[in-house]
Amino acid sequence: MDGASFALVMNIAVAALFAASFAIVALVNPTHRAALWFSLSYLIGMLTPISLFILPRTSWPAPFAFASYATFAVGLLCMTAALALFYRRKPPWLLILAIAILATVIGLLIWNGPRNTFGYELAYQLPFALATGASAWVILRVSQRRPLEVTLALTFGIIAIHFPIKAFLAVSTGTGATPREYIHSLYALFSQATTGILLIAAGLLVLLIAVQSVITDAQIAAETDPLSGLANRRGFDTASAKVLSEARRSNFLTSVIVLDLDHFKQINDTHGHAVGDEVIRAFADLLKRSVPSSSLIARVGGEEFAVLLERTSAERAKLIAEAIRLAVEQNTAETLPRATVSAGVADISRDETCAEAIRRADVALYEAKATGRNKVCLAAAHRPHNIVPLQGRTVQRIK
């Protein structure tokens, strides 16, 4: 087996591995079905080295010569569509169709043309350059342009540029007088090796991005309450730690509101849990509309919610909590039972944790519940750990 044939076999094996890897990602993670398009791209692209491997070993080389050209173009265009679908965007179908038509026209025009001429070789490589260039454009257009995504776009850009460069090398080294002789040329070894390496690099980056997306989505799912769509307690704890760290660096105020729907058990017992779930969802939507967009909102218990407010004093947080309480009380939705909410509010001191502030807010919430419900109470001021009361005064605790 000569060098070019060995490179073809390696490209077949690598394409099959990528196709299988993306298929597994899609099948194991239902939210990432778009990865099947990546698998399809590599399955179709795998037919190119298969066709080139069979071509010199068959008595009917023409169909395999056409297949090697067509499947490579289609595989690259499937990658363009796959990238857009992966980012939940509509693929640029008109651009994909235009490149496909151009590839067909060029293929027909050069079918019996003179090989080893610059015009022929450049025309042959042009659809591939346009297809990979389209992939780079899609990534820059629809992704968040994180480092891996920018690197992937750059890689596709390099692949696009390398195709016309191959036209110069094809003319200078020769591609063989016929498609059957191509596999024995020095150019075939160079072409299959360089294109294979570049496409492997792109495939690895795409696979990394897909796996990273799976991990991120799994983390979000683990930190999100499925009923309300808000953060759960785990998500709230994780996000609040980052907010408080930034608040202490920047020296700005933070406050927390703890809210609890009044007599929620009665709603479930009287109207059923399905209606209770609708009340939870409606209250979550009301919270999203009622607090600043920078706020962190979470469902931390059955009918208990927490709101972390940046750059907000306890007094201002109490006003926000009152506005929420009034909005719930005045809600006139005919499809849901009437509800009220009680709340406790606390500022978060520099020397206390969010959990400690929530405990103070909880005490204020219990006070609101005990004194009639449908109220907002402000928590007592935080007492530093190194201060203890003594006969009506405070003294510094000796450490």
DSSP assignments along 283-347, one per residue: HHHHHHHHS-TT-EEEE-SSSEEEEEEET--HHHHHHHHHHHHHHHHT---TTS----EEEEEEE
Cβ atoms 227, 265 nearer than 8 A:
no
Whole-number Å distance between alpha carbons of 192 and 166: 11
Whole-number Å distance between alpha carbons of 316 and 256: 11
Whole-number Å distance between alpha carbons of 338 and 267: 9
In 3D space, the residue among 243, 154, 160, 241 whose CA is nearest the CA of residue 195 turns out to be 160
In 3D space, the residue among 294, 298, 310 whose CA is nearest the CA of residue 238 turns out to be 298
Q: Which helix (H) or strand (E) holds 49?
A: helix 35-54
Which of 121, 149, 278, 303 is flagged as catalytic?
303
How distant is the alpha carbon of residue 291 from its chain centre? Answer: 26
Whole-number Å distance between alpha carbons of 298 and 211: 27
> Catalytic annotation on 303?
yes
Please state the φ and ψ torsions of residue 272, each to the nearest 5 degrees: 100, 155
Residue positions annotated with a catalytic role: 303
